[in-house]
Homo-oligomer: A and B are copies of this chain.
């Protein structure tokens, strides 16, 4: 479990372009999902686990650490994970995805 995120080099950032680093960071299992679940209000680690279909705490913890190092997520004082201002911004970016997903389903079968 390497610790390299946000400190200058994330896996996939070989090109130097920050989008790649971001794309790679978000393209990990549960990363997008975590941001999505945190979009409303902060959740405890166990609450987040429940929200994420009981994903294993190992990955969740790993993603949470990466996301924290990236500055998108933070651990509140009284416990519970929440989005930082930056994380909230990022989440805004994904909001259109919700509407898109609905349209997508109606077009792709189902």
Contacts and interface: CB of A to CB of B under 8 A. Distances in A.
Contacts of A8: 109-110
The size class of the interface chain A forms with chain B is: 35 or more
Nearest to A98: B19
Instruction: State the number of copies, please.
Output: 2
Contacts of A14: 53
B89 A100 contact: yes
13 contacts: A12-B33, A14-B53, A18-B102, A19-B98, A20-B33, A22-B100, A23-B33, A23-B36, A24-B33, A27-B27, A27-B31, A86-B107, A93-B96
Interface of A: 6-8, 12, 14-15, 17-24, 26-33, 36, 53, 70-71, 86, 89-90, 93-94, 96-98, 100-102, 104-105, 107-110
